[in-house]
Amino acid sequence: MKKKEFKSSSKRVLDLMINSIYTNKEIFLRELLSNASDALDKLSYKALTDNSININKADLEINIIRDSDNRILTIKDNGIGMDASELENNLGTIAESGSLRFKEENKEQKDTEIIGQFGVGFYSAFMVAKKIEVVSKKYGEDKGHIWTSEGADGYTISECNTDDYGTTIKLYLKDNTDDDNYDKYLDEYTIRSLVTKYSDYLRYPIKMEVQNSRLKEGSDKEYETYTEVVTLNTMVPLWKKDKKDITEDDYNNFYSDKFMDYEKPLRVIHSSVEGLESYKALMFIPSHAPYDFYLKDYKKGLELYTNGVLIMEKCEKLLPDYYSFVKGVVDSADLSLNISRETLQNDKHVLGIAKTLETKIHNELADMLKNDFDNYKKFFEAFGSQIKYGVYDMYGANKDKLKDLLIFYSSKNEKMITLDEYVNNIEKEQKNIYYACGETIDKINMLPQVEQVKNKNYDVLYFTDYLDEFVAQVLGSYNDLTFKNVSDGDLNLDTEEEKEELKKVNEDNKEALDYIKTALNDEVVEVRFTNKLTNHPVCLTTEGNLSVEMQKVINAMPTDEKVKAKMILEINEKHPIANKIKELYKNNKEELSGYAKILYSEARLIEGLPIENPTEISNLICELISK
């Protein structure tokens, strides 16, 4: 029989498994049992809608069979089964292997860490088996098939006779070594404890034959051994158990098993609701974004069950977009099944559940923000942009629900604070929430425009995320305080006297300043002297709603629409450069043109904007310094 090669990507993951020095090899059992349970789910779901399927739900089960003499561990299910092409596609490749992609993106990570981070599924069995045989027959088909592999060099598939539909996986255990004892996976108590630890909540019985002893009939001291089949799991889904019977470890194991995340969740939300909408929900707030979270094909949603049958793996309508990071399951008895996926999602019952879940998630986040700020920061680093996006999306329709979940870096506190904290600590006369935009906190600290606001003892929020300013614009104000960019040309921080004085300076030099504006080909809407810069010679400010940061963000988008902020070049009237300008305007206008270009370029550089004609500027500077 011709041996087929694994796809190269699968081969690499397989190598990883076979040569694994991962200490947590036991997870293979969890993976195989979960696959078996999924296969049973698929069959029972199909039976709900397909009359030709004739099964008794009570017969659906998983069996673990131990053969100590031959060192074979078998896991058998009577689920949906696989036909030849499914065996080929499902076991010949690791479909869309998340773990492999992750490994390629994180080359410095050790292999062992990667195994721990993902449910690597079926292949994890190669951590304990030197050879694997899978016999499978799809429900309703005549023929079964056998898939065999001894590891990385390939696999074979051939037809075989088997009476039972479903899948039987035979693991020929690896030889024991000094470090690893594989015999233990044949041991009753090891298996019992692994099932309890990882798979207790699976909703189908996991059965195993065990040896027991009892008093011989008619005797009061002679014992005999007998075999009996026991069910190893309690089968109550975790979400249906009483909270007081669940430990933190139970939740964490369930989460990592089901959602393939190696890190503990930040929060668990377990609720049971009776009333108009009756349901049980178990939701998790992850501590980090999954590797595919920001990719286009990431799908939000919760698993939806009815009466213990999984009816939808990702019910999107149960979560609003801004909470798309939440993982979990919902189980409700009142759902109708004989409707399409779309209709079900828009079912009034489902939408009603979604509404109460949203409130629960919100309350949990608010509680974390208030009582567990360190973890909230972690949460916000991972998913803050979702919340911001939620504020911004749909013209701010949800902004009031979400605004108190926002946190920003505060210049005064030198840490992240909420908007509520900001407004509770303003100066008496303060009317605005000041913010400054830039790539990093350090860079914003050096912005000339920030200085004047800080000098007034006002707190400044630092916007380092490109979404931040859009969020501020959608919010407009918070508790009657208006958001104001420190780069706004019209900050209005001066006293009447100062204003008058500055007005006069600008009027007296109007011609010189207009001359500079013309020299800059009207790149800016105005050139003026300012009193707000302490040490810096120049800065750029803007007029109107479009700031320089927003211009950058919008113009970086892959659309044809380009925008231009209305920029003002402000020159420090107390800086020696001011006198130089006045003097050149009188005596050497030609040279003033060159100065103007250099000053404007400086201001652009400070803002992180490119210089349109670097060669010209470089020549001008050289000319000046060679004088």
Find the part of the chain contacting ligand ADP (CB under 6 A) among 78-86, 143-151, 249-257, 531-539: 78-86
**Residue 620 interacting with ligand ADP (CB under 6 A):** no
Let me know: does 372 contact 379? Beta carbons within 8 Å: no
Radius of gyration for the chain, computed over Cα atoms and rounded to the nearest angstrom: 34
- At residue 132, the 3 state secondary structure works out as strand
Residue 493 CB partners (closer than 8 Å, separation 6+): 452, 453, 456, 532
Distance CA 600, CA 621 (A): 13
CB of 376 vs ligand ADP, minimal distance in Å: 32
Taking CB atoms, the residue at the shortest distance from ligand ADP is 121
The interface mask with ligand ADP, positions 108-147, x = CB under 6 A, is: -------------xxx------------------------
**Comparison of 87 and 444: residue with beta carbon closer to ligand ADP:** 87
**Residue 36 interacting with ligand ADP (CB under 6 A):** yes
**Comparison of 150 and 347: residue with beta carbon closer to ligand ADP:** 150
Nearest to 172 by CA among 134, 133, 131: 131
**Residue 488 interacting with ligand ADP (CB under 6 A):** no
Q: Of 26, 41, 77, 277, which lies in the binding site for ligand ADP, with binding defined by CB under 6 A? A: 77
Q: Of 74, 90, 278, 593, which lies in the binding site for ligand ADP, with binding defined by CB under 6 A? A: 90
Distance CA 49, CA 341 (A): 13
Structure tokens at 137: 């027959």
Length of the chain: 627
**Residue 550 interacting with ligand ADP (CB under 6 A):** no
DSSP 199: I
Find the part of the chain contacting ligand ADP (CB under 6 A) among 8-16, 33-41, 251-259, 504-512: 33-41
CB of 292 vs ligand ADP, minimal distance in Å: 14
Distance CA 283, CA 239 (A): 9
CB of 125 vs ligand ADP, minimal distance in Å: 9
Q: Of 82, 238, 405, 460, which lies in the binding site for ligand ADP, with binding defined by CB under 6 A? A: 82
Residue with tokens 């993951």: 13
**Comparison of 72 and 502: residue with beta carbon closer to ligand ADP:** 72
**Comparison of 31 and 277: residue with beta carbon closer to ligand ADP:** 31
**Residue 64 interacting with ligand ADP (CB under 6 A):** no
CB of 264 vs ligand ADP, minimal distance in Å: 21
Buried b (16+ CB within 10 A) or exposed e, 416-455: bbbbeebbeebeeeeebbbbbbbeeeeebeebbbbbbbbe
CB of 327 vs ligand ADP, minimal distance in Å: 15
Footprint of ligand ADP on residues 153-182 (CB under 6 A)? Answer: 167
The 3-state secondary structure of 146-165 reads: EEEECCCCCEEEEEECCCCC
Find the part of the chain contacting ligand ADP (CB under 6 A) among 47-55, 77-85, 211-219, 589-597: 77-85
Compute CA distances 85 → 141, 471, 508, whole Å: 13, 50, 85
Structure tokens at 267: 């929060």
**Residue 44 interacting with ligand ADP (CB under 6 A):** no
Find the part of the chain contacting ligand ADP (CB under 6 A) among 80-88, 405-413, 423-431, 577-585: 80-88
Let me know: does 337 contact 311? Beta carbons within 8 Å: yes
Buried b (16+ CB within 10 A) or exposed e, 537-567: bbbbbbeeebbbbbbbebeeeeeeeeeebbb
**Residue 35 interacting with ligand ADP (CB under 6 A):** yes
Distance CA 428, CA 238 (A): 54
The 3-state secondary structure of 539-581 reads: EEEEECCCCHHHHHHHHHCCCCCCCCCEEEEEEECCCHHHHHH
Distance CA 334, CA 474 (A): 39
Nearest to 26 by CA among 155, 231, 261, 199: 199
CB of 417 vs ligand ADP, minimal distance in Å: 42
Q: Of 22, 44, 79, 265, which lies in the binding site for ligand ADP, with binding defined by CB under 6 A? A: 79
**Comparison of 102 and 466: residue with beta carbon closer to ligand ADP:** 102
**Comparison of 123 and 126: residue with beta carbon closer to ligand ADP:** 123
Distance CA 73, CA 597 (A): 79
**Residue 548 interacting with ligand ADP (CB under 6 A):** no
**Residue 291 interacting with ligand ADP (CB under 6 A):** no
**Comparison of 16 and 361: residue with beta carbon closer to ligand ADP:** 16
Find the part of the chain contacting ligand ADP (CB under 6 A) among 73-81, 250-258, 298-306, 602-610: 73-81
Provide the binding-site residues for ligand ADP, judged by CB under 6 A.
31, 35-36, 39, 77, 79-82, 90, 121-123, 167
